[in-house]
Amino acid sequence: MSISEAASKYQLFSEQADLAKTLGNSHRLFLLELITKGEKAVDQLAELSGLSIANTSQHLQHLKRSSFVYSRRDGKNVLYRIGSSPVLSLLAALSACAEHNRAEIRALISDTFDQKDKLEAISREELLARMHDASMVLLDVRTEEEFSQGHLPGAINIPLDELERRLTELPQDQDIVAYCRGTYCALSGKAVALLRTKGWNARHLTGGFID
Amino acid sequence: MSISEAASKYQLFSEQADLAKTLGNSHRLFLLELITKGEKAVDQLAELSGLSIANTSQHLQHLKRSSFVYSRRDGKNVLYRIGSSPVLSLLAALSACAEHNRAEIRALISDTFDQKDKLEAISREELLARMHDASMVLLDVRTEEEFSQGHLPGAINIPLDELERRLTELPQDQDIVAYCRGTYCALSGKAVALLRTKGWNARHLTGGFID
DNA sequence: ATTGCATTCAATAATTCTATTGAATGATGA
DNA sequence: TCATCATTCAATAGAATTATTGAATGCAAT
């Protein structure tokens, strides 16, 4: 590739990157979806999206610069409509990629859950039965923020990524029951696996906090 | 739309926005194109893209987080290959959008050149439309002092009386749009005349900075 | 003309992204 | 086991984005 070829190629990628950057904000994607369903005024869009008027206006102008939308004035209002360029197919492709990734993650999770069935789970019933039983420690491996917004009574909180270096906070002579957000959260499974390698008798709670 | 619907919708858009953000960088797009043509090692990609190794690695991991690429180790090297199917169609759609916009701009330029006189002016509307178009250079011919107190974004400053000996600073392959103070300032007109005798495709901005 | 209203602009603080540096990791091959 | 090398991590400074505020614009109805 010659220098000038490389340069023009780079310019091409810059333009594409600018377009992608415009889509790289969830508010703008939301506005774009709203506009897809029909021409709308700025204040309408602000209302529907929950953004301030000024902020909405700025996002709309960003979208306009990328030709994702066009605008026209109608009386007092400026109306935005979807752009003519292959915007819709780009949005569809983006959505398809996201969906593909979600599917990938779901598959990954169910995998880890298959393996993890070996790591004996504890049911909610058994948990309740042993709730006041001092032989068991309830461990919440979610973030401190989630924990502070609500947790099971008596639980202690050590986020998963801090677990390894805070092992000393856990009593060696009690069973550990770990839980996290819910069925599709793999945090507690990992915690249990880690604790078992370190010699604890650990299990996880089927379901999780949400359930 | 219920609250939980809105919330899940928002999460969906966040995921899509993250994907788009990953594509919103020309280096990453370039790396992605290189990988599209075949599995490659990190140092190879760094070499081809002209980025440092560490920087390349980070961009690759960013791409990997979005599932645009996968990686595997082969001996001493980590090889990156393109991710699963929807990636290519997303890239194609992005490229199509960019091409569409280029065509739109080209149409705009040829229009104005067909209709208008050689020394025809460029309107503020057209200027705005082409503001981010790399095919155009905005030239401020006022004094350095005036320039430093405020100028149009992206403009370069060469005072009129220095123009002739600083011609080399102007790119030959781009349109020049000159501006000065306002409607009653003749500086930019003179600049345009000079540039045209030297072979540039130059126009002046109707009005000027004050307007 | 003047007033009212929807929209845009401008300036800012806060957040996020990028490139660079040097150190840490981890698999390989002696 | 040890040394080597490709890659990754971590920390940081600089650059870019975002949301907010309040002011400016520009149309339209009076």
Print pLDDT tens along chain B (211 aa).
554 555 667 778 999 999 999 999 999 999 999 999 999 999 999 999 999 999 999 999 999 999 999 999 888 899 999 987 689 999 999 999 998 888 877 765 554 444 333 344 555 545 555 554 445 667 777 766 666 655 665 667 777 776 766 666 666 656 677 776 654 456 666 677 667 666 666 667 655 555 4
CA-based nearest residue in chain B for residue A20: B24
- Rounded to whole angstroms, how far apart are CA atoms A79 and A41? 4
- Rounded to whole angstroms, how far apart are CA atoms A207 and A182? 5
- Rounded to whole angstroms, how far apart are CA atoms A97 and A191? 31
SS (H, E, C) chain B: CCHHHHHHHHHHHHHHHHHHHHHCCHHHHHHHHHHHCCCEEHHHHHHHHCCCHHHHHHHHHHHHHCCCEEEEEECCEEEEEECCCHHHHHHHHHHHHHHHHHHHHHHHHHHHHHHCCCCCEECHHHHHHHCCCCCEEEEECCCHHHHHCCCCCCCEECCHHHHHHHHHHCCCCCEEEEECCCCCCCHHHHHHHHHHHCCCCEEEECCCCCC
In order of A120, A122, A186, the CA distances from A114 in angstroms are 11, 16, 12
Of A98, A24, A26, A100, the closest CA to residue B13 belongs to: A26
State how far Cα A131 lies from the chain centre. Answer: 32
- Rounded to whole angstroms, how far apart are CA atoms B8 and A96? 16
Angle between helices A53-65 and A26-36 (to 10 degrees): 80
The whole-number pLDDT of residue A47 equals 92
- Rounded to whole angstroms, how far apart are CA atoms B89 and B172? 37
Give A136-184 pLDDT, tens digit per residue: 667 777 776 666 665 666 677 777 777 766 766 666 666 677 777 665 5
| Global confidence as pTM | 0.61
The whole-number pLDDT of residue B211 equals 45
Residue B140 has phi, psi (to 5 degrees) of: -100, 115
Judge whether A21 and B29 are in contact, CB under 8 Å: no
Query: Of residues 59 to 78 in chain B, which lie within 7 A of strand C by their beta carbon?
Result: 59, 62, 73, 75-76
Q: Biggest alpha carbon distance in chain A? A: 76
The whole-number pLDDT of residue A110 equals 57
Q: Which helix (H) or strand (E) holds A54?
A: helix A53-65
Of A204, A56, A90, the closest CA to residue B19 belongs to: A90
The whole-number pLDDT of residue B132 equals 47
Count of CB pairs separated by less than 8 Å, A with B: 133
- Rounded to whole angstroms, how far apart are CA atoms B92 and B107? 22
The whole-number pLDDT of residue B64 equals 93
The whole-number pLDDT of residue B66 equals 92
The whole-number pLDDT of residue A94 equals 94
- What does the block give as tokens for B148? 């430093």
- What does the block give as tokens for A208? 């999780």
State how far Cα B151 lies from the chain centre. Answer: 20
Judge whether A97 and B90 are in contact, CB under 8 Å: yes
The whole-number pLDDT of residue A136 equals 63
The whole-number pLDDT of residue A123 equals 59
- Rounded to whole angstroms, how far apart are CA atoms B79 and B61? 12
The whole-number pLDDT of residue B57 equals 95
B24 touches strand C (CB under 7 A): yes
Nucleotide nearest to A58 (CA to C1'): C8
Contact call for A67 and B92, based on CB within 8 A: no
The whole-number pLDDT of residue A44 equals 93
**Residue A100 contacts B, CB cutoff 8 Å:** yes
The whole-number pLDDT of residue B149 equals 58
The whole-number pLDDT of residue A57 equals 95
Q: Which helix (H) or strand (E) holds A102?
A: helix A87-116
Pairing status of strand B156-157 against strand A175-179: unpaired
The whole-number pLDDT of residue B112 equals 46
Decide if A97 is catalytic: no
Looking at chain A, the whole-number percentage of residues with pLDDT higher than 70 is 57
Give A66-110 pLDDT, tens digit per residue: 999 999 988 889 999 998 778 999 999 999 999 888 887 666 555
End-to-end Cα separation, chain B, in angstroms: 46
Q: How many CB atoms lie within 10 A of CB B161?
A: 11
CA-based nearest residue in chain A for residue B135: A11
A165 touches strand C (CB under 7 A): no
- Rounded to whole angstroms, how far apart are CA atoms A75 and A78? 8
What is the DSSP secondary structure assignment for residue A205, as one 8-state letter? Answer: E
Cβ-Cβ contacts under 8 Å, A15 against chain B: 98, 101-102
The whole-number pLDDT of residue A102 equals 83
Catalytic residue among A31, A35, A180, A185: A180
